[in-house]
Amino acid sequence: MATVVKPTGPLRQIGAPPMVPRIAPREDLNPFRIAQIQFDMAAEFLKLEPGLRQILRTPKRVLEVSIPTKMDNGQVKVHTGFRVQHNISRGPGKGGIRYHPNVTLDEVKALAAWMTWKTAVLNVPFGGAKGGVICDPKRMSKTELERMTRRYASEILPIIGPSMDIPAPDVYTDAQTMAWIMDTYAMTVGHSVHGVVTGKPVSIGGSEGRSEATARGLLFVVEEACKLKKIPLRGATVAIQGFGNAGATAARLFAEKKAKIIALSDTRGGVTNSRGIDPIKAIRYKERSGTVVGMPGASRMTNDDLLTMKCDILVPAALENVITLHNAEAVKARIVAEAANGPTTPHADEILARRGITVLPDILANAGGVTVSYFEWVQNMEGLMWDAEEVNARLQKSMVKAFHEMVETMRKHHVPPRAGAMILAVGRVAEATLVRGLFP
């Protein structure tokens, strides 16, 4: 269990000088153990009883399924999939589904736990869940992906539903994936159920603004952090690692605010230009070539170099464990805004805090997606249709409120942002668990 000590160096975080967790010398990159370290720290501050800690540390339900899929060459390949429901004390499970060759059960368990805390930080009435399939979507055709998705949906169907567990897109899944899951569910139960998934196309009940929600929510949080740290967003330099939906949209939204995008990257590498990169040109170039590497007017760089380049705002928007013990001392950003889940390890958190670098934690910074997913679910359940302007206004109000509640918690406990967000979230889930009581 993490203990808390005063930092040895100056700590220029938002709010009062924080205390940070002291982590054992050996770095453990297992995402579920990292999630539990983060939880244990919050539980210590909240002085939770041992039994309650065990409940909140342990996933409520873990499902592993085999997914036989007929490939285009006529052969059958069996993929492995997971759906984890971490905690549903505050409402139905909520969480994305990722397709990736490196998906593991511990990763999905960690992501489900982070979803529990994420929904609690934003105070939306959901619990935390997550799904994943071990596959390489880049090597699969659209028809293969559809067949695999429909079989996966049928295998997890007994534990999903609009009042049980509501999937959404994640890494290498999108609105089309959600449409297949919704249709598979409808074919099984015999009628359309719009609220069974979120992040689906607007034409079948999706919400305006959902595709941009993660990046837009991130922007709202960064704007508030910049105000407190007195960093003008106009002209601020931004480096973004990961150029999928969240990263690409964030680049465009930052550019619209007149920030300067000086580096972008994807799985094949990165590009940089100190005078600025036009994100629209980068998006179009990637659509044609499959990568940003090689785009005109920018020099090539590695993903590792991007993470340690000098900039005002660093946005890790790819996968977990990219800022670690081994490169945290070299990070030169003033703000790290986590668009990805779990990109910063506990060791790196300690180093960045000691160096005065503000880390806007994933459970707040990228929570715009689940917040608008909640809006989508509400619209589905109530038969409503909000326009993009209303969705974005509601999102901004929610993100700004959650940010300032985090800052208030930070100042109360003298901790950095991640600890503040975790204490806020764990406290809410603990309260709901205690009020509901233990059955039987």
Distance CA 429, CA 120 (A): 7
Q: Which of 366, 346, 331 is nearest to 121 (CA)?
A: 366
Q: In whole angstroms, what is the distance from residue 97 CA to residue 133 CA?
A: 8
Distance separating alpha carbons of residues 152 and 71, to the nearest angstrom:
15
Distance from the first to the final alpha carbon of the chain: 30
Structure tokens at 274: 């100190």
Catalytic site residue from 130, 200, 260, 286: 130
How many angstroms separate the most distant Cα atoms in the chain?
Answer: 65
239, 313 in Cβ contact below 8 A?
yes
CB under 8 Å to 414, separation ≥6 — which residues? 16, 17, 18, 19
Is 130 catalytic? The answer is yes
The answer to whether 419 touches 18, Cβ cutoff 8 Å, is yes
Amino acid at 308: T
Count CB neighbours of 260 within 10 A.
18
Q: Answer yes or no: are the C-beta atoms of 310 and 331 closer than 8 Å.
A: no
Tokens of 404: 């300032």
Catalytic (active-site) positions: 130
